[in-house]
Amino acid sequence: MPAYILSTGAYRPRVQQPNHALTERFFLKRGNKIHQKATVDILEKFTAVTEIRERSIALPEVSASRMGYLAAEEAIERGGVDREAIDYIIVAHNWGDVSTKHNFQDTLPNLAARIKSKLGIRNPRCVAYDILFGCPGWLEGVRQVDLLIRSGEARYVLVVGTDTVSRVVEEYDVDSLLFSDGAGAALMAASASPNTGVLASATRSHCLEELDYLRMGRSFSDRKYLDGLYLKMQGRQVFKYALREVPAVITACLEKAEVDLRDVRYFIMHQANAKMIKAIASRLFAQHGIANYPEDVLPINVYTKGNNSVATIPTLLHEVIDRAHNQRGIERGDLVVFASVGAGMHVNAMIHRF
């Protein structure tokens, strides 16, 4: 039987950082100081383009593994499963635990092992491993869960996405405004029917000229030259790649599952920025001969959460299930398409029937 999302959990950091609180920040772009406009004008343009008004930031004492543990704990409690019966814990992240004092990345022991320890799981047959796959990491973990459960290798699997992206971007970079912190988790089990759970999935990796669209690089400021590496992005190239590849991989899933686009209840996309999410949806529907997509099929939370990397999809799913976006939530029989894109470059998609 296919894998089925039994329950979810999420951790939203307590600190909300609105754009208007950053008016004293000094921005650089590609190493050049931005003199042409006042910071207020830069922030207004950023808000207009991305529709991100604020972002969630973890407190200094809260690590990625801590956030992941809290999200996992909620998923286990909601799922009503004995934690000692969990066969695998798969944790997607990109930087490990990062201190606020510096941005050096701590990945040993791996985050899945840390989360298993925090959960107090003693069973040595519960295997805990990490995935480093850019923003699509959590969804790729879910794809692996489906293979594990279909093969009979596992009954229950916990898949977690957690990142403190705010600690690997630099305050001098305009692109830093996109990113935030957060964690989401899903507990998965075998579906009771071959017609529910994961119906189809697909992943593509383009790693030639696309390799450096998102990368770690030196600071734009000489003052922070020795402080480590920071997330750098070729925003225009990422946008063009996502607009081309995400609709294609979703369509591949629809065809594989023999599902009509019109029958999908929700499209839960990676929350990179609202402009990109809406452009992808418009392109997808246009390719299927539909002029406009219904707004209620495309929940978006990046307006106030920001882009927290691997955590965007599981946290948004958790919100939709909890009726945070409408009173309907997710009902039995609903078809949900998940899709993500990120560093590598990688793109993936999945269709799940609840």
C-alpha to C-alpha distances, 167 to 53, 103, 138, 231, 309, nearest whole angstrom? 19, 6, 20, 9, 12
Residue 86 neighbours by CB distance under 10 Å: 27
Q: Which of 298, 277, 286, 342 is nearest to 49 (CA)?
A: 277
Q: Identify whether 207 is a catalytic site residue.
A: no
Which member of 103, 126, 135, 346 is catalytic? 135
Which member of 103, 253, 270, 346 is catalytic? 270
C-alpha to C-alpha distances, 306 to 19, 194, 270, 275, nearest whole angstrom? 11, 36, 11, 13
Residue 258: partners with Cβ closer than 8 Å, 6 or more residues away: none
Q: Which of 52, 36, 33 is nearest to 44 (CA)?
A: 52
Which member of 94, 307, 308, 348 is catalytic? 307
Q: Identify whether 253 is a catalytic site residue.
A: no
Please list the residues that pair with 352 across neighbouring strands: 198, 336
Q: Identify whether 288 is a catalytic site residue.
A: no
Identify the DSSP state of 173. B
Give residue 129's identity as a one-letter amino acid code.
Answer: Y
What is the rounded end-to-end Cα distance, in angstroms, of the chain?
14
Rounded distance between C-alpha atoms, residue 35 and residue 53, angstroms: 23
Residue 2: partners with Cβ closer than 8 Å, 6 or more residues away: 146, 149, 150, 190, 191, 194, 196, 197, 198, 199
Could you give the residue numbers annotated as active site? 135, 270, 307
